[in-house]
Structure 1
């Protein structure tokens, strides 16, 4: 069963489920939310802080990114907590070359870069993500 909230996703990761699988399942659930209000509820509850500082920062970035990208009206207040930021840069690719580091520094969305997380331009894209409004099918 997919996590219905970001807080639930963090709980599952803390229980030992693979981060990439749980986050993908949460994003799928989020994208299938029936309304903006329902999607906002999915990120509204603050996930418990973990011993994993990267996870703490990552979920803050995810919640802020989703709220802004999907225009949910507001960003949950908990994402601004200093514990949701990293002291040292984290490049999310394995063994990034200097060129890849430069690219990720440039391409990372502000919600991630402001937390010292450097990742690809569209970090949460999924095959079943929301369709652009200009697309007619």
Structure 2
């Protein structure tokens, strides 16, 4: 079952579900919400801190990014918690070269970079559209 809220997604991850899959499913549900009020409601409740500092920072970045990118008019208060920020840089690309580190440093959205998370320019984009049929 896909998570309806970011808090549900974090609970599912803590229960053993694959982080990348669950967070992608949450973004899909967020985008499928019928109204901005429904979208905001899906990020409003603070997810529990997990002790996984990267996950805790990542969900803060996601909530702030989604609120701003979708122009919801407000950002949940909980994203400002210092526990939602990393002490050390995290480059989301495995074994990045120096050039890749520099690229990610400058291309990361502010909502991620301010938490010391360095990722691609559009980190939550999802593939859309129909897949071509096999002949």
TM-score (norm 2): 0.94
Query: 2-side partners of 1:90 and 1:127: how far apart?
Result: 24
Contact 1:6 1:43 in 2 (8 A): yes
Offset, 1:124: 0.1
Q: What is the aligned length?
A: 129
The equivalent of 2:113 in structure 1 is 113
Give 4+ residue runs of structure 1 displaced > 6 Å after superposition: none
Query: 2-side partners of 1:78 and 1:27: how far apart?
Result: 19
Query: 1-side partners of 2:96 and 2:11: how far apart?
Result: 29
The equivalent of 2:76 in structure 1 is 76
Query: 2-side partners of 1:128 and 1:83: how far apart?
Result: 33
The equivalent of 1:67 in structure 2 is 67
5+ residue gaps in structure 1?
Answer: 130-137
Offset, 1:105: 0.1
The equivalent of 2:90 in structure 1 is 90
Deviations 1:70-126 (A, max 9, x none): 000100000000000000000001000000000000000000000000000000000
Offset, 1:13: 0.6
The equivalent of 2:132 in structure 1 is none
The equivalent of 2:5 in structure 1 is 5
Contact 1:28 1:128 in 2 (8 A): no
The equivalent of 1:133 in structure 2 is none
Query: 1-side partners of 2:127 and 2:54: how far apart?
Result: 25
The equivalent of 2:133 in structure 1 is none
